[in-house]
Amino acid sequence: MTDPLSHLAAAGRFDHILVGGHWIEPLSRTTAPVVDPASEETIAQIVLATRDDVDAAVSAARSAFPGWSATPVAERARMLSRVHELILERAELLAQAISLEMGAAITFARAAQVPFAAEHVRVAAENLANYPFVHMRGTTAVAREPIGVCGLITPWNWPLYQITAKVAPALAAGCTVVLKPSELAPLSALLFAEIIGDAGIPAGVFNLVTGTGPEVGEALSAHPDIDMISITGSTRAGVLVSKSAADTVKRVALELGGKSPNVILPDADLARAIPPGVASSCRNVGQSCSAPTRMIVPRVKLAEVERIAAETAAQFVVGDPRDERTTHGPIANRAQFERVQYMIGVGISEGAKLVCGGGGKPEGLERGYYVRPTIFSQVTSGMAIAQEEVFGPVLVIIPYDSVEEAIAIANDTVYGLGAHVQGTDMDQVRAVAGRIRAGQVLLNYPAWDPQAPFGGYKRSGNGREFGIEGMEEFLEVKAMLGYEPG
């Protein structure tokens, strides 16, 4: 079966949460609509759990922690490898779910959303199998141990990818988890929960509680029996979680917003540098926190950059996400659609040059949260569209007169999540990359690396995901002096 709605409805998943290995009815019968952004129609009703439901899930995770943390590394790695296999086996079902719940073009869901999510699980299993949990430093043993019960809060823009980026390393580390997926895009989370059970992960190790941020998210953040909170979301949400978690002094990992620069150096081949930059800024319809939405270019080449950028955007096919000809589906939900439209209006009012796109929906797409891919040029760093995260297919082009000025523009942001640098002189590319204040810098559009740590400077958050560092976020450090192994 490749129809996620029929599958989930038949299994009764929409009105149940997963606690202690059992799908149970939450204490509340309050529901929220799951809306297909391509049609603006409600396709399901998801149950909203309460704080008491969170208590039950945390208790189940706490009870499962001693057994799971003591499970041999090889056995944990084997079960994670099985999770990876099942994601690949059910890839089409998951891709259809993601396309329905947040509007990803089905071709993009198949090519990126699902396989990249699977990679996080494969990498976690691989890293676990080879990780030195104890090493000697003289006569002191330095051990890394699972931190305990972890509350994981994930967003709607990469719904499965962000779940596996947290759950897989947490389970690899020996932690147990309570996951709160976005109530706006819960379909792939429910399917993933089934995969966890089918892979043989013991009851209580993974628990899923659907609900809102103010109710379930806040309850997880403040819960005294949660040892760590990891959230991917807006900077505003990260601040609220941090404040809520402060009273219990739990570890907080934050992967938040971004306004990533893409520095086009003077020697860059524009025909090779500009099209991938435009495509990257609009990937996932611009709904990526690390999207390079500020293209910083030599002023003397501005006209040529504008021409190539407009030609690139003209090749995008905006439309029904289930149509395999579509490259860009709708914005994931109404609130975000309205935010993108508002920010396009702000850019126009600020006097930026509109290269292509603009407000309103594309012609012929009156129904659905569709946005016209939009490029502004002659933008200055003081403009709101150069400083605020739009989270839609909106690119701003900012000119510079010297490389020093380009670096200053790149760093002129409260964010520091991702960055790009393009050029032919690799010494200069590396030097510029080293001066940008961001957690991940991509040089000349390299292939995605699931082992590369990902996370932010400044208001883009703290902590790291992906790779070894992603697993170490879920580990405590213990020093045992005088250990002197025999």
Domains and CATH numbers, the chain: 4-256+461-479 (3.40.605.10), 261-449 (3.40.309.10)
The verdict on pTM exceeding 0.85 is: yes
What's residue 36's pLDDT? Answer: 98
Q: At residue 228, what is the residue type?
A: M
What's residue 28's pLDDT? Answer: 87
Q: At residue 103, what is the residue type?
A: G
Q: How many CA atoms lie within 13 A of 153 on its CB side?
A: 30
Eight-state DSSP code of residue 59: H
Compute, in degrees rounded to 10, the torsion defined by CA atoms 97, 98, 104, 105. Answer: -40
- Per residue in 360-396, pLDDT (tens digit) is 999 999 999 999 999 999 999 999 999 999 999 999 9
In this predicted structure, the answer to whether residue 1 has a pLDDT above a threshold of 70 is no
pLDDT, average across residues 400-415: 98
The band of 423, judged by pLDDT with boundaries at 50, 70 and 90, is very high
11 CB neighbour count, 10 Å cutoff = 13
Q: Which residues are annotated as catalytic?
A: 255
- Per residue in 304-345, pLDDT (tens digit) is 999 999 999 999 999 999 999 999 999 999 999 999 999 999
- Per residue in 196-251, pLDDT (tens digit) is 999 999 999 999 999 999 999 999 999 999 999 999 999 999 999 999 999 999 99
**Residue 70 burial (10 A CB sphere; 0-12, 13-18, 19+):** exposed
Residue 372 CA to residue 341 CA, distance in Å, equals 9
- Percent of the chain residues past pLDDT 90, beyond the cut: 99
330, 321 in Cβ contact below 8 A? yes
What's residue 84's pLDDT? Answer: 98
Residue 252 CA to residue 238 CA, distance in Å, equals 9
Mean pLDDT taken over the chain:
97
Residue 211 CA to residue 216 CA, distance in Å, equals 6
373, 318 in Cβ contact below 8 A? yes
pLDDT, average across residues 3-9: 97
- Per residue in 268-318, pLDDT (tens digit) is 999 999 999 999 999 999 999 999 999 999 999 999 999 999 999 999 999
In this predicted structure, the answer to whether residue 44 has a pLDDT above a threshold of 90 is yes
Residue 54 CA to residue 427 CA, distance in Å, equals 52
In this predicted structure, the answer to whether residue 29 has a pLDDT above a threshold of 90 is no
What's residue 31's pLDDT? Answer: 97
Residue 462 CA to residue 471 CA, distance in Å, equals 14
What's residue 484's pLDDT? Answer: 82
